[in-house]
Structure 1
Amino acid sequence: MQFSVVQGDIAAQEADALVNAAGTSLRMGSGVAGALRREANGPINEEAISKGPVELGAVAVTDAYDLDAGYVIHAAAMPHYGDGRATPQSIREATRNALEAADELGCETLVLPVLGTGAAGFDFERGAELVCGEVWSYEPTSLREVRVIAYSERDYRRVEEIADRLRSP
Protein backbone atom coordinates (compact mmCIF):
# COMPACT_ATOMS: atom_id res chain seq x y z
CA MET A 1 0.00 0.00 0.00
CA GLN A 2 1.29 3.45 -0.91
CA PHE A 3 1.28 5.94 1.97
CA SER A 4 1.92 9.64 1.45
CA VAL A 5 1.42 12.96 3.19
CA VAL A 6 -0.25 15.79 1.28
CA GLN A 7 -1.10 19.41 1.98
CA GLY A 8 -4.45 21.02 1.29
CA ASP A 9 -8.15 21.03 1.97
CA ILE A 10 -9.59 17.54 2.47
CA ALA A 11 -12.85 18.66 0.86
CA ALA A 12 -10.96 19.27 -2.40
CA GLN A 13 -9.35 15.80 -2.51
CA GLU A 14 -10.28 13.05 -4.94
CA ALA A 15 -10.46 9.54 -3.47
CA ASP A 16 -12.81 6.62 -3.04
CA ALA A 17 -13.34 7.72 0.58
CA LEU A 18 -12.56 10.76 2.70
CA VAL A 19 -12.35 10.56 6.49
CA ASN A 20 -14.14 13.09 8.66
CA ALA A 21 -12.63 13.93 12.05
CA ALA A 22 -15.88 13.33 13.91
CA GLY A 23 -17.17 13.41 17.43
CA THR A 24 -19.37 10.66 18.83
CA SER A 25 -22.60 12.53 18.00
CA LEU A 26 -21.48 12.61 14.33
CA ARG A 27 -22.75 16.22 14.14
CA MET A 28 -20.67 18.02 11.51
CA GLY A 29 -19.66 21.39 13.00
CA SER A 30 -16.37 23.14 12.27
CA GLY A 31 -12.87 22.21 11.12
CA VAL A 32 -12.61 19.15 8.87
CA ALA A 33 -16.29 18.32 9.43
CA GLY A 34 -17.38 21.84 8.47
CA ALA A 35 -15.27 21.83 5.30
CA LEU A 36 -16.69 18.47 4.21
CA ARG A 37 -20.27 19.51 5.08
CA ARG A 38 -20.03 22.73 3.06
CA GLU A 39 -18.50 21.14 -0.04
CA ALA A 40 -20.77 18.07 0.02
CA ASN A 41 -23.69 20.35 -0.87
CA GLY A 42 -26.26 17.88 0.38
CA PRO A 43 -27.78 16.43 3.54
CA ILE A 44 -24.52 14.82 4.70
CA ASN A 45 -24.86 16.26 8.22
CA GLU A 46 -28.37 14.91 8.59
CA GLU A 47 -27.34 11.49 7.25
CA ALA A 48 -24.36 11.38 9.62
CA ILE A 49 -26.45 12.36 12.66
CA SER A 50 -29.01 9.67 11.78
CA LYS A 51 -26.25 7.05 12.20
CA GLY A 52 -25.19 8.31 15.64
CA PRO A 53 -24.35 8.60 18.31
CA VAL A 54 -21.54 6.05 18.06
CA GLU A 55 -19.01 4.77 20.57
CA LEU A 56 -15.69 6.55 20.92
CA GLY A 57 -13.32 5.17 18.26
CA ALA A 58 -16.17 3.88 16.07
CA VAL A 59 -16.99 4.95 12.50
CA ALA A 60 -20.09 5.53 10.40
CA VAL A 61 -20.27 5.82 6.61
CA THR A 62 -22.32 8.26 4.54
CA ASP A 63 -22.61 9.21 0.91
CA ALA A 64 -20.12 11.89 -0.16
CA TYR A 65 -22.74 13.87 -2.16
CA ASP A 66 -20.88 16.51 -4.26
CA LEU A 67 -17.43 15.72 -2.86
CA ASP A 68 -15.07 14.00 -5.31
CA ALA A 69 -15.40 10.70 -3.45
CA GLY A 70 -17.82 7.84 -3.09
CA TYR A 71 -18.00 7.84 0.70
CA VAL A 72 -17.26 9.86 3.80
CA ILE A 73 -16.13 7.76 6.75
CA HIS A 74 -16.92 9.61 9.98
CA ALA A 75 -14.27 8.52 12.51
CA ALA A 76 -15.22 9.43 16.10
CA ALA A 77 -11.88 10.16 17.74
CA MET A 78 -13.42 12.61 20.25
CA PRO A 79 -16.44 12.48 22.53
CA HIS A 80 -19.10 15.11 21.91
CA TYR A 81 -20.11 14.77 25.55
CA GLY A 82 -18.16 15.19 28.78
CA ASP A 83 -14.75 16.81 28.30
CA GLY A 84 -14.70 16.42 24.50
CA ARG A 85 -11.03 15.40 24.51
CA ALA A 86 -9.49 12.74 22.30
CA THR A 87 -7.21 10.09 23.81
CA PRO A 88 -4.39 8.02 22.33
CA GLN A 89 -6.71 5.00 22.35
CA SER A 90 -9.59 6.85 20.63
CA ILE A 91 -7.27 8.17 17.91
CA ARG A 92 -5.76 4.73 17.25
CA GLU A 93 -9.17 3.02 17.20
CA ALA A 94 -10.81 5.65 15.00
CA THR A 95 -7.92 5.48 12.53
CA ARG A 96 -7.88 1.68 12.46
CA ASN A 97 -11.68 1.50 12.11
CA ALA A 98 -11.61 4.04 9.24
CA LEU A 99 -9.01 1.96 7.40
CA GLU A 100 -11.04 -1.22 7.97
CA ALA A 101 -14.27 0.47 6.82
CA ALA A 102 -12.58 1.63 3.60
CA ASP A 103 -11.40 -1.93 2.95
CA GLU A 104 -14.88 -3.34 3.66
CA LEU A 105 -16.33 -0.86 1.14
CA GLY A 106 -13.79 -1.99 -1.48
CA CYS A 107 -12.07 1.40 -1.60
CA GLU A 108 -8.67 1.66 -3.24
CA THR A 109 -7.90 5.26 -2.18
CA LEU A 110 -8.44 6.99 1.16
CA VAL A 111 -7.61 10.46 2.50
CA LEU A 112 -7.62 11.12 6.24
CA PRO A 113 -6.66 14.02 8.48
CA VAL A 114 -4.75 13.81 11.75
CA LEU A 115 -7.66 12.73 13.94
CA GLY A 116 -8.23 13.95 17.49
CA THR A 117 -6.38 17.25 17.18
CA GLY A 118 -7.84 20.72 16.74
CA ALA A 119 -11.18 20.96 18.55
CA ALA A 120 -10.54 17.61 20.24
CA GLY A 121 -7.58 19.15 22.05
CA PHE A 122 -4.98 16.44 21.47
CA ASP A 123 -1.37 17.43 20.70
CA PHE A 124 -0.94 17.62 16.91
CA GLU A 125 2.47 15.96 16.69
CA ARG A 126 1.49 13.10 19.00
CA GLY A 127 -1.79 12.69 17.06
CA ALA A 128 0.17 12.53 13.80
CA GLU A 129 2.41 9.83 15.30
CA LEU A 130 -0.64 7.77 16.27
CA VAL A 131 -2.41 8.16 12.91
CA CYS A 132 0.74 7.51 10.84
CA GLY A 133 1.68 4.55 13.03
CA GLU A 134 -1.72 2.95 12.43
CA VAL A 135 -1.48 3.54 8.68
CA TRP A 136 2.03 2.05 8.49
CA SER A 137 1.00 -1.05 10.45
CA TYR A 138 -2.25 -1.65 8.54
CA GLU A 139 -2.44 -4.61 6.17
CA PRO A 140 -5.08 -3.75 3.54
CA THR A 141 -7.24 -5.96 1.40
CA SER A 142 -8.46 -3.43 -1.18
CA LEU A 143 -6.73 -0.18 -0.19
CA ARG A 144 -3.88 0.69 -2.52
CA GLU A 145 -3.22 4.31 -1.50
CA VAL A 146 -3.66 6.20 1.77
CA ARG A 147 -2.95 9.91 2.03
CA VAL A 148 -2.73 11.72 5.36
CA ILE A 149 -3.60 15.36 4.80
CA ALA A 150 -2.55 18.49 6.64
CA TYR A 151 -4.07 21.88 5.91
CA SER A 152 -1.16 24.25 6.56
CA GLU A 153 2.37 24.05 5.16
CA ARG A 154 3.78 23.93 8.70
CA ASP A 155 1.56 20.99 9.71
CA TYR A 156 2.26 19.24 6.40
CA ARG A 157 6.01 19.40 7.06
CA ARG A 158 5.51 18.10 10.61
CA VAL A 159 3.38 15.15 9.47
CA GLU A 160 5.76 14.33 6.62
CA GLU A 161 8.72 14.21 9.05
CA ILE A 162 6.78 11.99 11.45
CA ALA A 163 5.63 9.62 8.66
CA ASP A 164 9.20 9.32 7.37
CA ARG A 165 10.52 8.62 10.87
CA LEU A 166 7.92 5.90 11.45
CA ARG A 167 8.36 4.28 8.03
CA SER A 168 9.19 0.60 8.32
CA PRO A 169 12.66 -0.29 6.98
Structure 2
Amino acid sequence: MMRLTVVQGDITTQEVDAVVNAANRRMRGGGGVDGAIHAAGGPEVLDDCVRRFPDGLATGGAGWTTGGRLPARWVIHVVGPNWNAGERDRSLLTSCYSGALGVADELGARSVAFPLVSAGIYGWPRDDAIRAAVDALRGATTEVEEARLVAFGRAAYDEISAVVEA
Protein backbone atom coordinates (compact mmCIF):
# COMPACT_ATOMS: atom_id res chain seq x y z
CA MET A 1 0.00 0.00 0.00
CA MET A 2 1.30 3.42 -0.96
CA ARG A 3 2.32 5.76 1.85
CA LEU A 4 1.07 9.35 1.47
CA THR A 5 3.31 11.91 3.17
CA VAL A 6 3.38 15.70 3.37
CA VAL A 7 6.52 17.83 3.58
CA GLN A 8 7.10 21.54 3.55
CA GLY A 9 9.81 22.55 1.13
CA ASP A 10 11.05 22.97 -2.40
CA ILE A 11 10.05 20.28 -4.89
CA THR A 12 13.33 20.73 -6.77
CA THR A 13 15.36 19.45 -3.80
CA GLN A 14 13.34 16.32 -3.07
CA GLU A 15 15.42 13.15 -3.07
CA VAL A 16 12.91 10.86 -4.75
CA ASP A 17 12.86 8.78 -7.92
CA ALA A 18 10.60 11.27 -9.72
CA VAL A 19 9.22 14.75 -9.20
CA VAL A 20 5.96 15.85 -10.77
CA ASN A 21 5.95 19.09 -12.72
CA ALA A 22 2.80 21.19 -13.05
CA ALA A 23 3.52 22.01 -16.69
CA ASN A 24 1.68 23.97 -19.35
CA ARG A 25 0.40 22.43 -22.57
CA ARG A 26 3.36 23.67 -24.62
CA MET A 27 5.88 21.78 -22.42
CA ARG A 28 8.51 24.49 -22.86
CA GLY A 29 8.87 25.76 -19.31
CA GLY A 30 6.94 28.51 -17.61
CA GLY A 31 6.45 30.06 -14.20
CA GLY A 32 5.81 28.68 -10.73
CA VAL A 33 6.64 25.00 -10.23
CA ASP A 34 7.32 24.57 -13.94
CA GLY A 35 9.88 27.38 -14.01
CA ALA A 36 11.55 26.15 -10.83
CA ILE A 37 11.89 22.59 -12.13
CA HIS A 38 13.29 23.74 -15.48
CA ALA A 39 15.74 26.11 -13.76
CA ALA A 40 16.98 23.49 -11.31
CA GLY A 41 16.98 20.64 -13.83
CA GLY A 42 18.93 22.61 -16.39
CA PRO A 43 18.65 22.63 -20.18
CA GLU A 44 18.49 18.83 -20.27
CA VAL A 45 14.85 18.93 -19.08
CA LEU A 46 13.76 21.39 -21.79
CA ASP A 47 15.74 19.55 -24.47
CA ASP A 48 13.98 16.31 -23.51
CA CYS A 49 10.57 18.07 -23.51
CA VAL A 50 11.19 19.35 -27.04
CA ARG A 51 12.29 15.92 -28.24
CA ARG A 52 9.60 13.85 -26.51
CA PHE A 53 6.68 16.30 -26.77
CA PRO A 54 7.01 18.23 -30.05
CA ASP A 55 3.29 19.06 -29.96
CA GLY A 56 3.04 19.51 -26.19
CA LEU A 57 0.73 17.57 -23.90
CA ALA A 58 -3.05 17.69 -23.42
CA THR A 59 -4.71 18.96 -20.26
CA GLY A 60 -4.95 16.07 -17.81
CA GLY A 61 -2.10 14.25 -19.55
CA ALA A 62 1.16 12.96 -18.10
CA GLY A 63 4.55 12.17 -19.60
CA TRP A 64 8.17 11.97 -18.46
CA THR A 65 11.58 13.40 -19.17
CA THR A 66 14.99 13.18 -17.62
CA GLY A 67 15.47 14.88 -14.27
CA GLY A 68 18.53 16.61 -15.66
CA ARG A 69 20.42 18.17 -12.75
CA LEU A 70 17.67 17.51 -10.19
CA PRO A 71 18.25 14.96 -7.41
CA ALA A 72 15.33 13.01 -8.94
CA ARG A 73 16.06 10.74 -11.88
CA TRP A 74 12.86 11.69 -13.75
CA VAL A 75 10.41 14.55 -14.09
CA ILE A 76 6.83 13.48 -14.67
CA HIS A 77 5.09 16.38 -16.38
CA VAL A 78 1.33 16.83 -15.95
CA VAL A 79 -0.88 19.52 -17.42
CA GLY A 80 -3.50 20.57 -14.92
CA PRO A 81 -6.70 22.37 -15.84
CA ASN A 82 -6.67 26.16 -15.75
CA TRP A 83 -9.59 27.22 -13.53
CA ASN A 84 -9.05 30.87 -14.48
CA ALA A 85 -9.48 29.98 -18.17
CA GLY A 86 -12.75 28.10 -17.48
CA GLU A 87 -11.30 24.57 -17.33
CA ARG A 88 -13.22 23.32 -14.30
CA ASP A 89 -13.62 19.60 -14.95
CA ARG A 90 -12.29 18.06 -11.73
CA SER A 91 -11.60 14.75 -13.51
CA LEU A 92 -8.87 16.54 -15.51
CA LEU A 93 -7.23 17.52 -12.23
CA THR A 94 -7.45 14.07 -10.64
CA SER A 95 -6.18 12.48 -13.87
CA CYS A 96 -2.94 14.42 -13.38
CA TYR A 97 -2.27 12.47 -10.18
CA SER A 98 -3.42 9.06 -11.44
CA GLY A 99 -1.63 9.60 -14.76
CA ALA A 100 1.59 10.56 -12.98
CA LEU A 101 1.41 7.38 -10.90
CA GLY A 102 0.83 5.35 -14.08
CA VAL A 103 3.94 6.89 -15.64
CA ALA A 104 5.87 6.25 -12.40
CA ASP A 105 4.86 2.60 -12.58
CA GLU A 106 6.08 2.37 -16.19
CA LEU A 107 9.42 3.86 -15.12
CA GLY A 108 9.76 1.71 -12.01
CA ALA A 109 9.77 4.78 -9.75
CA ARG A 110 8.97 3.94 -6.12
CA SER A 111 8.99 7.45 -4.63
CA VAL A 112 7.29 10.43 -6.26
CA ALA A 113 7.04 14.05 -5.08
CA PHE A 114 3.96 16.02 -6.15
CA PRO A 115 3.20 19.73 -6.09
CA LEU A 116 -0.38 20.88 -5.61
CA VAL A 117 -1.38 20.85 -9.30
CA SER A 118 -3.40 23.79 -10.67
CA ALA A 119 -3.61 25.57 -7.30
CA GLY A 120 -1.13 28.32 -8.20
CA ILE A 121 -1.42 30.61 -11.20
CA TYR A 122 -4.14 28.37 -12.71
CA GLY A 123 -6.39 29.38 -9.82
CA TRP A 124 -7.99 26.08 -8.80
CA PRO A 125 -9.48 26.69 -5.32
CA ARG A 126 -6.82 25.39 -2.93
CA ASP A 127 -9.16 23.50 -0.60
CA ASP A 128 -10.59 21.50 -3.51
CA ALA A 129 -7.15 21.07 -5.12
CA ILE A 130 -5.97 19.49 -1.86
CA ARG A 131 -8.98 17.17 -1.62
CA ALA A 132 -8.64 16.19 -5.29
CA ALA A 133 -4.96 15.34 -4.81
CA VAL A 134 -5.54 13.30 -1.66
CA ASP A 135 -8.58 11.49 -3.10
CA ALA A 136 -6.77 10.64 -6.35
CA LEU A 137 -3.61 9.44 -4.61
CA ARG A 138 -5.45 7.38 -2.01
CA GLY A 139 -7.69 5.83 -4.64
CA ALA A 140 -4.88 4.79 -6.97
CA THR A 141 -3.62 1.30 -7.63
CA THR A 142 0.13 1.61 -8.04
CA GLU A 143 3.52 0.11 -7.31
CA VAL A 144 4.72 3.49 -5.99
CA GLU A 145 5.65 3.11 -2.33
CA GLU A 146 5.64 6.80 -1.34
CA ALA A 147 3.65 9.69 -2.79
CA ARG A 148 4.95 12.88 -1.22
CA LEU A 149 2.90 16.07 -1.37
CA VAL A 150 5.34 18.97 -1.24
CA ALA A 151 3.85 22.11 0.29
CA PHE A 152 5.45 25.41 -0.62
CA GLY A 153 5.01 27.37 2.61
CA ARG A 154 3.68 26.74 6.08
CA ALA A 155 0.04 27.60 5.34
CA ALA A 156 -0.11 25.07 2.48
CA TYR A 157 1.62 22.47 4.66
CA ASP A 158 -0.93 22.94 7.44
CA GLU A 159 -3.88 22.77 5.02
CA ILE A 160 -2.62 19.66 3.22
CA SER A 161 -1.67 17.91 6.47
CA ALA A 162 -5.15 18.50 7.92
CA VAL A 163 -6.75 16.71 4.95
CA VAL A 164 -4.20 13.87 4.85
CA GLU A 165 -4.53 13.24 8.59
CA ALA A 166 -8.36 13.41 8.62
How does the TM-score come out when normalised to structure 1? Answer: 0.89
**Aligned equivalent of 1:98:** 100
Give me the whole-angstrom Cα distance separating, in 1, the residues matched to 2:26 and 2:19.
Answer: 18
Instruction: Give, in whole Å, the separation in 2 of the partners of 1:64 and 1:8.
Output: 18
1: CA distance, partners of 2:129 / 2:73: 26
Gaps of 5+ in 2: none
Q: Is the Cα contact below 8 Å between 1:85 and 1:121 reproduced in 2?
A: no
RMSD (CA atoms)? 1.7
Match of 1:116 among 115, 118, 135: 118
Q: Which runs of 5+ in 1 are unaligned?
A: none
Other structure's SS at 1:118 match: coil
Residue 80 of structure 2 aligns to a residue whose secondary structure is strand
1:37 aligns with 2:20: no
Residue of structure 2 equivalent to 1:9: 10
CA separation of 1:110 and 1:37: change in aligned 2, threshold 3 A: same
The letter of the residue matching 1:69 is A
Q: In the TM superposition, what whole-angstrom CA distance separates every residue of 1:26-77 from its partner, at most 9, and x where no partner exists? A: 2211111111111112231232244142221111210001100110000111
**SS of residue matched to 2:109:** coil
The question of 1:64 aligning with 2:61 is answered no
Q: Which amino acid aligns with 2:36?
A: A
Q: Report whether the alignment pairs 1:78 with 2:92.
A: no
Q: After TM superposition, which residue ranges in structure 1, 4 or more long, deviate above 3 angstroms? A: 84-87
Cα deviation for residue 139 of structure 1 reads 1.8
The alpha-carbon deviation at position 88 of structure 1 amounts to 1.3
Tell me how far 1:162 sits from its aligned partner: 1.1
For the 8 Å contact 2:44–2:66, the answer to whether it is kept is no
Q: Percent identity?
A: 27
Alpha-carbon distance between aligned partners in 1 of 2:14 and 2:132, rounded to the nearest angstrom: 22
1:86 offset after TM fit, Å? 5.5
Q: What amino acid does structure 2 have at the position aligned with 1:46? A: D
